[in-house]
């Protein structure tokens, strides 16, 4: 339930107060809002009358916010930002129904994005907004409806839908390999590239081939895409998922370094909060993902 209308200042007054706080002077606020200095002062006085308390200290024509008003402005600014975002969403999707999805960059680009056209055709009333996130986060603090998660079912307070398994292959620039490798152990003689969020990936791959390296070191990357580029520029061998490696191999930028694709230890999931219940746009997306995997 909303507060009494007498406690809800007009948008004009809120904009004037926020601009005064952010810019530091009534003149600057007036210029940004295309108003006069006196108009800014009048808007503040109207708000003071509504709230029944002073918001500024007046020194001649200068206006300076009180400490309480500056704190109030933090909430005002956040509220105006949310209102602006809501307006952008409405304009982008006038039919209603938007979905904010956090994706892993490489998986989002190479696996999900090519399939989204089918979803857009199937559910044209839903607009999907994509943003990158590399690690789990608190849905209560982020403006996401769902996320793509890799690994185990270790994200607390969410529901899971299995999307895909991951198969990885060591790849490198053609010039790195002077001759084909005869064993997995020979890879230890080459520089190995690592992903920050997959610190045990190489250990797991070597374990699959019955090799127990003492210590694996090498360059560290935060995303698969930059690691793939580093491999293409002859900086080392990258252990890439097949949805990314296949395109690089077909383009001739990378070649398999050794062996066949190996199943990784983690899986891809679509996750969303247990509470509150999924909105209709998310329900449609969940149903669609379940139909294409």
For each of the domains in the chain, give its residue range(s) and CATH number, in order of start: 5-92 (1.10.10.10), 98-164+268-292 (3.40.190.10), 166-262 (3.40.190.10)
Whole-model pTM over 0.85: no
Is residue 93 pLDDT above 60, yes or no? Answer: no
What is the pLDDT at residue 1? 53
- Of residues 85 and 134, the one with the higher pLDDT is 134
pLDDT higher than threshold 90 for residue 119: yes
Beta-carbon count within 10 A of 194 CB: 20
Q: Is the pLDDT of residue 52 over 60?
A: yes
pLDDT at 120: 92
Asked whether residue 89 carries a pLDDT value surpassing 80, the answer given is: no
65 - beta bridge partners?
56
Each residue's pLDDT tens digit, 260-293: 999 999 999 999 999 888 888 999 999 999 998 8
Nearest alpha carbon to residue 238 among 250, 251, 255, 252: 255
Q: What is the pLDDT of residues 135-167, one digit of tens each?
A: 999 998 888 999 999 999 999 999 999 999 999
Sorting pLDDT into bands at 50, 70 and 90, what band is 50?
Answer: confident
Per-residue pLDDT band at 96 (split at 50, 70, 90): low
What 3-state class would DSSP assign to 134? coil
Closest by Cα among 71, 81, 181, 197 to 134: 197
Query: Can you tell me which residue has the tokens 């969020």?
Result: 197
pLDDT at 91: 67
Q: What are the residues facing 102 on neighbouring strands?
A: 131, 147
Vertex 144: Cα angle to 139 and 149 (nearest 5):
75
Find how far residue 248's CA is from the centre of its chain. Answer: 25
pLDDT of residue 94 exceeding 70, the answer is no
């Amino acid at each position: 339930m909303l507060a009494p209308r007498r406690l809800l200042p007009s948008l004009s007054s809120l904009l004037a107060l926020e601009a005064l706080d952010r810019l530091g002077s009534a003149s600057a606020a007036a210029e940004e809002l295309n108003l006069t200095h006196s108009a800014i002062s009048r808007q503040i006085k109207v708000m003071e009358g509504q709230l029944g308390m002073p918001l500024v200290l007046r020194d001649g024509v200068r206006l300076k916010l009180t400490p309480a008003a500056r704190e109030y402005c933090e909430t005002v600014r956040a509220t105006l930002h949310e209102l602006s975002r809501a307006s952008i969403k409405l304009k982008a999707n006038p039919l209603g129904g938007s979905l904010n999805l956090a994706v892993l960059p490489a998986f989002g680009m190479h696996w999900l994005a090519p399939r989204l056209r089918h979803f857009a055709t199937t559910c044209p009333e839903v607009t999907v907004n994509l943003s990158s996130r590399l690690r789990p986060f608190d849905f209560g603090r982020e403006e996401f409806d769902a996320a793509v998660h890799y690994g185990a079912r270790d994200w607390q307070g969410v529901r899971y839908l299995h999307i895909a398994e991951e198969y990885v292959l060591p790849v490198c620039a053609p010039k790195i390999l002077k001759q084909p490798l005869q064993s997995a152990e020979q890879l230890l003689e080459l520089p190995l590239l690592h992903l920050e969020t997959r610190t045990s990936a190489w250990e797991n791959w070597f374990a699959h081939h019955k090799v127990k390296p003492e210590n694996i070191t090498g360059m560290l990357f935060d995303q698969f895409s930059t690691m793939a580029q580093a491999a293409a520029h002859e900086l080392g061998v990258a252990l890439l998922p097949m949805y990314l490696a296949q395109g690089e191999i077909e383009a001739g930028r990378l070649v398999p370094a050794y062996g066949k694709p190996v199943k990784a230890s983690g899986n891809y999931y679509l996750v969303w909060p247990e509470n509150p219940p999924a909105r209709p746009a998310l329900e449609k997306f969940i149903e669609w993902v379940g139909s294409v995997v």
